[in-house]
């Protein structure tokens, strides 16, 4: 009997423990499932955050590099890779292998070893293709809870455009000062001579040289006036001057411009012809006149006596094309790309002798840009030149 009771108790105990074990296993499985879900959510969130960080970093125009204590990249954005790695920067490279400039390495060292931020380290970087860019570097330490430094973050701000603009400004001021000084020195010199002569002998003003000196003073004053006028024009066109475009008759504007220049052409026995196959152009009439005067005046100045200057107006699809062609001295190809820069002159002496300041073509370029058009040149030395202006003009008047 006791044997049966013992058996029942044993069976009951085994069943009890089996059931408990099953329950615990199920609980454990549930907990594992829960943990798995939490892990998946956490990884997904991390991936989203990583993606967001990457998007933010690639949207930043600066190049960003984060390194660990050994100088190995933890992270760099696409701009950094593009500029400093030509788009194929291996992640195992250390900062010392990317940059040779000790200034850059010292800035990172300072952040890594002493936890100090530093900024405005300027340096020049030459790419494998040979183009040079300028950067300002700021470096900050990366730390956990503000205590343990585990790396450094470098922010490379590209200042190449700023540098170029600054250089252009410096060159411009130097050029303007030089151009102003030459006629001013002449005016001052001749005026002082005349004053001296007058003080010594008031009757000396009747000498023929007086007239010659006064003529020189007047010509130099004209040069100054032209220069100041051109400078004012340039700054007005470049600033926010509004252009009022309207349908301009090419025949009427050509007649007006050519009439005002007739005398000049006669003195050099030059022939000026034009044809207006295209009758109208959409442009600001005053600025268009300035384009014509500048280009026709150049053609006149840089074409010897007896030369021929022809102007044509044609349509090419959505553009009206103005061509000014001369049989003059021509311009060799190496000058073509710089011709439209301010103060650029192929032959400074010849241009100055003609009273030129080197701003005419720059004004033409800016006027065309404001019309969303373009100006170009076709020319070769001793072969004459053709300046081509394109004005966007719809086929149908609106
Ligand atoms: N038709 C042309 N034939 C040959 N050279 C030209 C012609 N037009 C311009 N150039 C060259 O381009 C340079 C720049 O022309 P631009 O009109 O800007 O200046 P400029 O004529 O010297 O002076 P200005 O500002 O008084 O017009 C000239 O100095 C000249 O060397
Ligand atoms: Mg000119």
87 confidence band (pLDDT: 50, 70, 90): low
Does ligand 1 lie within 6 Å of residue 233's CB atom? no
The pLDDT value recorded for residue 311 is 98
Does ligand 1 lie within 6 Å of residue 339's CB atom? yes
Lowest-confidence segment of 88-92, 155-159, 297-301, 360-364 by average pLDDT:
88-92
Pair (92, 140) in one structural domain: yes
Does ligand 1 lie within 6 Å of residue 324's CB atom? no
Say how far apart CA 393 and CA 398 lie, in whole Å. 11
Pair (393, 306) in one structural domain: yes
**Residue 333 CB neighbour total at 10 angstroms:** 11
Please determine, for residue 334, whether its predicted confidence score (pLDDT) is greater than 90. yes
The CATH code of the domain that includes 303 is: 3.30.565.10
For the CA of 359, the nearest atom of ligand 1: 25
For the CA of 343, the nearest ligand:
1
Pair (215, 121) in one structural domain: no
The CATH code of the domain that includes 192 is: 1.10.287.130
Pair (15, 149) in one structural domain: no
Q: How far is the CA of 141 from the centre of ligand 2 (A)?
A: 57
- Domain stops at, among 158, 191, 223: 158
Pair (129, 187) in one structural domain: no
Pair (142, 197) in one structural domain: no
Pair (250, 381) in one structural domain: yes
Angle between the N-to-C axes of helices 360-370 and 285-301, in degrees from 0 to 180, rounded to the nearest 10: 150
Q: Which residue has the higher pLDDT, 17 or 141?
A: 141
Does ligand 1 lie within 6 Å of residue 77's CB atom? no
Pair (206, 344) in one structural domain: no
Q: For 199-214, how does the pLDDT look when each residue is reduced to its tens digit (9 = 90+)? A: 998 888 788 889 999 9
Q: How far is the CA of 250 from the centre of ligand 1 (A)?
A: 24
- Structural domain of residue 31, as residue ranges? 1-59
- Whose C-alpha lies nearest to ligand 1, atom 29? 345
Does ligand 1 lie within 6 Å of residue 295's CB atom? no
Q: For 19-73, how does the pLDDT look when each residue is reduced to its tens digit (9 = 90+)? A: 888 989 998 888 888 888 888 888 888 787 777 777 777 778 899 999 999 999 9
Q: What is the rounded average pLDDT for all residues in the chain?
A: 90
- Whose C-alpha lies nearest to ligand 1, atom 19? 358
- Domain stops at, among 158, 187, 207: 158
- Domain stops at, among 158, 188, 218: 158
Q: Which of 323, 355, 358, 375 to mutate to test the pocket of ligand 1 (most atoms within 8 A of CB)?
A: 358
Pair (120, 177) in one structural domain: no
Q: For 103-138, how does the pLDDT look when each residue is reduced to its tens digit (9 = 90+)? A: 999 999 999 999 999 998 999 988 777 788 999 999
- CA-nearest of 316, 326, 331, 335 to 390 is 316
Does ligand 1 lie within 6 Å of residue 326's CB atom? yes
Pair (265, 342) in one structural domain: yes
Pair (232, 253) in one structural domain: no
Say how far apart CA 199 and CA 186 lie, in whole Å. 20
Q: Which residue has the higher pLDDT, 250 or 33?
A: 250
Does ligand 1 lie within 6 Å of residue 298's CB atom? yes
Pair (272, 228) in one structural domain: no
For the CA of 347, the nearest atom of ligand 1: 31
Question: What DSSP line would sit under 112-166, residue for residue?
Answer: HHH---EEEEEEEEE-TTS-EEEEEEEEEEEEETTTEEEEEEEEEEE-HHHHHHH
Q: How many domains does the chain divide into?
A: 4
The CATH code of the domain that includes 85 is: 3.30.450.20
């Amino acid at each position: 009997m006791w044997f049966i009771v013992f058996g029942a108790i044993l069976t009951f105990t085994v069943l009890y423990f089996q059931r408990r074990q099953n329950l615990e296993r199920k609980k454990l499985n549930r907990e594992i499932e829960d943990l798995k879900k939490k892990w998946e959510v956490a990884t997904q969130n991390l991936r989203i955050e990583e993606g967001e960080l990457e998007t933010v970093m690639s949207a930043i125009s600066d190049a960003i590099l984060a390194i660990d204590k050994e100088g190995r990249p933890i992270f760099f954005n696409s701009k950094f890779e593009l500029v400093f790695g030509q788009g194929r920067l291996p992640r195992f490279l250390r900062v010392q292998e990317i940059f040779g400039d000790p200034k850059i390495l010292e800035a990172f060292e300072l952040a890594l070893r002493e936890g100090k931020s530093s900024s405005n380290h300027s340096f020049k970087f030459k790419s494998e293709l040979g183009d040079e860019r300028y950067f300002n570097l700021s470096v900050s330490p990366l730390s956990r809870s503000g205590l343990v430094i585990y790396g450094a973050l470098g922010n490379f701000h590209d200042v190449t455009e700023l540098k170029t603009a600054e250089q252009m400004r410096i060159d411009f001021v130097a050029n303007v000062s030089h151009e102003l000084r030459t006629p001013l020195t002449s005016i001052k010199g001749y005026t002082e001579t005349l004053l001296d002569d007058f003080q010594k002998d008031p009757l000396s003003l009747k000498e023929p040289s007086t007239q010659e000196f006064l003529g020189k003073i007047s010509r130099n004053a004209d040069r100054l006036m032209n220069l100041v006028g051109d400078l004012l024009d340039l700054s007005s066109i470049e600033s926010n001057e509004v252009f009022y475009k309207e349908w301009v008759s090419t025949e009427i504007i050509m007649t007006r411009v050519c009439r005002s220049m007739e005398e000049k052409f006669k003195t050099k026995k030059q022939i000026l012809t034009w044809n207006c196959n295209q009758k109208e152009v959409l442009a600001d009439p005053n600025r268009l006149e300035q384009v014509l005067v500048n280009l026709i005046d150049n053609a006149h100045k840089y074409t010897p006596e007896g030369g021929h200057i022809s102007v044509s107006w044609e349509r090419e699809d959505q553009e009206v094309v103005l061509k000014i062609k001369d049989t003059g001295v021509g311009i060799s190809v190496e000058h073509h790309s710089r011709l439209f820069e301010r103060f650029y002159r192929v032959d400074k002496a010849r241009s100055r002798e003609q009273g030129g300041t080197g701003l005419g073509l720059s004004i033409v370029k800016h006027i065309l840009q404001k019309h969303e058009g373009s100006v170009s040149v076709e020319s070769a030395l001793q072969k004459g030149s053709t300046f081509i202006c394109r004005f966007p003009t719809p086929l149908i008047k609106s």
